[in-house]
Amino acid sequence: MDFKFSEAQLMLQKMAREFAENEVLPIAEEVDKEHKFPAENFAKMAKIGFTGIGTPVEYGGSGVSDIEKVIVVTEIAKKCASTAAVLSIHTIFAQAIMKYGTDEQKKKYLPLMASGGWLGGFALTEPNAGSDAAAAKTTAILDEKTGEYVLNGTKCFISGGGRANALVIFALTDPSKGLKGMSGIIVEKGTPGFSIGKIEDKMGLNGSETVELVFDDCRVPKSNLLGKEGKGFVMAMTCLDGARIGIGAQALGIAEGALEESIKYMHERVQFGKPIAVLQGLQWYIADMATKIESAKWLIFYAAFLKATGQDHTKIAAMAKYNASTTAREVTNLALQIHGGYGYMRDYPLERMYRDAKITEIYEGTSEIHKVVISRAVLN
Ligand code: COS
């Protein structure tokens, strides 16, 4: 066993840490308060190759893989969870194209996504198909005469969906077959019949715009089919296995950021004539927070390692995301408590971290769904 990062990974971590400190942190409050999509951050991440993380060099990507993605997303999430979410979700599109796309699709989309010229999206959830993803009703029926798929339906809670230049949409190409009739279809922004519906007003993660996507006789060429017809549900689940590692990294980053803020505050804040760092009750909070973070970290890196080395990672990715998101909620709660009244005020970043942490227990699969996935894997 070897728990050490390579020299290159350590350099990447340093680079991501400096980027987060110098570029992401200064606008994190504005992104949250003004519900501002971090477009400037995205452009800057493109310049230093983060938007192409996980995409092979031959398609204009950075060539590095899942472990590096966890490193980068974690560092960015320490300072701004919204920016980390935008990056993490963007890379899912490229992952799907790389795994299931045709040569033409790879040549067309991967360089655009890797360079950050385009933003990618992924849409599975519908108003009546959240945890029960197989209940999705959006259709994509092939019009044999024109050779086009005609999409009808509504997707909801789609992160970055209003900004994405291209998205993978999961729709029923054969509604009579239920989940076995689901397929992945690439839809580009501006395609007639595709519009953005409600923009959600959320509790947190305010910079990661969450929207409804509406398809009303939206026609796309047959060549936009991703993979094979009827394989969409399995493709979506496979992509989510990877995506959950990214959201786990986001949760880990939020927790690490909250711990760092708490350590700083405990040394600075004086009560009863001494820094509050000498109070054993609070020291024990720090011990709990650090222990939970350490365990979350290694489970996420283990999941990323399994994925990067082509091994089955469904169970461990579910465990990693479930554990990291629980950790993020618990750690931000303790961090806010350590900060007392100041933690509750918007002058400090704690209440933002607390709000941003909560969604990690819900999106990209709820903790309850992860327990379904884990228990099925363990019992069978
Ligand atoms: N990888 C590959 N294939 C998978 C898979 C995975 N992780 N999980 C399920 N599948 C396959 C199954 O093997 C099965 O294929 P076969 O019929 O060929 O055997 C098929 O998918 C159906 O699986 P299952 O019967 O387990 O489906 P369920 O309807 O019971 O749903 C859960 C499974 C609950 C795990 C799934 O619906 C889920 O993950 N829901 C949460 C959705 C989510 O995370 N949404 C977040 C937002 S995405 S924008």
Residue nearest to atom 12 of ligand 1 (CA): 234
Residue nearest to atom 40 of ligand 1 (CA): 131
- The number of distinct structural domains making up the chain is 3
Average pLDDT (287-311) is: 98
Is the same domain home to 33 and 108? Answer: yes
Q: What is the pLDDT of residues 343-371, one digit of tens each?
A: 999 999 999 999 999 999 999 999 999 99
Residue nearest to atom 19 of ligand 1 (CA): 234
Average pLDDT (196-217) is: 97
Is the same domain home to 95 and 203? Answer: no
Nearest ligand 1 atom to the CA of 124 is: 49
Average pLDDT (61-76) is: 96
Is the same domain home to 276 and 370? Answer: yes
Q: Does 256 qualify as catalytic in the annotation? A: no
Is the same domain home to 261 and 363? Answer: yes
**Rounded-to-10 torsion of CA 364, 367, 372, 377:** 80
CATH of the domain at 106: 1.10.540.10
Q: What is the pLDDT of residues 257-274, one digit of tens each?
A: 999 999 999 999 999 999
1 located within any domain: no
What share of the chain has pLDDT > 70, as a percent?
Answer: 100
Mutate to test the pocket of ligand 1, among 89, 179, 234, 315 (most ligand atoms within 8 A of CB): 234
Whether the predicted pLDDT of 1 surpasses 90: no
Is the same domain home to 178 and 162? Answer: yes
What share of the chain has pLDDT > 90, as a percent?
Answer: 99
CATH of the domain at 219: 2.40.110.10
221 located within any domain: yes
Whether the predicted pLDDT of 142 surpasses 90: yes
Is the same domain home to 237 and 267? Answer: yes
Whether the predicted pLDDT of 2 surpasses 90: no
Task: Quote the pLDDT of residue 275.
Answer: 98
Is the same domain home to 94 and 170? Answer: no
CATH of the domain at 277: 1.20.140.10
Q: Per-residue confidence at 237, pLDDT binned at 50, 70, 90?
A: very high
341 located within any domain: yes
Nearest ligand 1 atom to the CA of 180 is: 17
Whether the model clears a pTM of 0.95, i.e. scores above it, the answer is: yes
- H or E, element range at 312: none
How many angstroms is it from 240 CA to the middle of ligand 1? Answer: 9
Task: Quote the pLDDT of residue 294.
Answer: 98
* Residue among 43, 186, 63, 67 nearest 115 (CA): 43
**Rounded-to-10 torsion of CA 13, 88, 19, 266:** -80
Last residue of a domain, one of 95, 119, 143: 119
Average pLDDT (242-254) is: 98
Last residue of a domain, one of 54, 85, 119: 119
90 located within any domain: yes
Average pLDDT (154-178) is: 98
For 372, the domain range is: 233-379
Whether the CB of 243 sits within 6 Å of ligand 1? no
Task: Quote the pLDDT of residue 143.
Answer: 98
2 located within any domain: no
How many angstroms is it from 262 CA to the middle of ligand 1? Answer: 39
Is the same domain home to 174 and 260? Answer: no
| Residues ≥6 apart with Cβ < 8 Å to 121 | 89, 90, 93, 158, 159, 160, 161, 163, 164, 166, 167, 168
Last residue of a domain, one of 119, 152, 178: 119
Residue nearest to atom 10 of ligand 1 (CA): 234
Average pLDDT (196-213) is: 97
Is the same domain home to 260 and 161? Answer: no
31 located within any domain: yes
Average pLDDT (203-220) is: 97
How many angstroms is it from 311 CA to the middle of ligand 1? Answer: 18
- Annotated catalytic residue within 209, 294, 364, 368: 364
Q: What is the pLDDT of residues 82-118, one digit of tens each?
A: 999 999 999 999 999 999 999 999 999 999 999 999 9
Is the same domain home to 27 and 96? Answer: yes
Is the same domain home to 373 and 244? Answer: yes
How many angstroms is it from 98 CA to the middle of ligand 1? Answer: 20
Is the same domain home to 157 and 110? Answer: no
Whether the CB of 365 sits within 6 Å of ligand 1? yes
Mean pLDDT of the chain: 97
DSSP-based three-state secondary structure for 203: coil
Nearest ligand 1 atom to the CA of 314 is: 7
Residue nearest to atom 49 of ligand 1 (CA): 124
Whether the CB of 213 sits within 6 Å of ligand 1? no
- Which tokens hold the place of 264? 């700083």
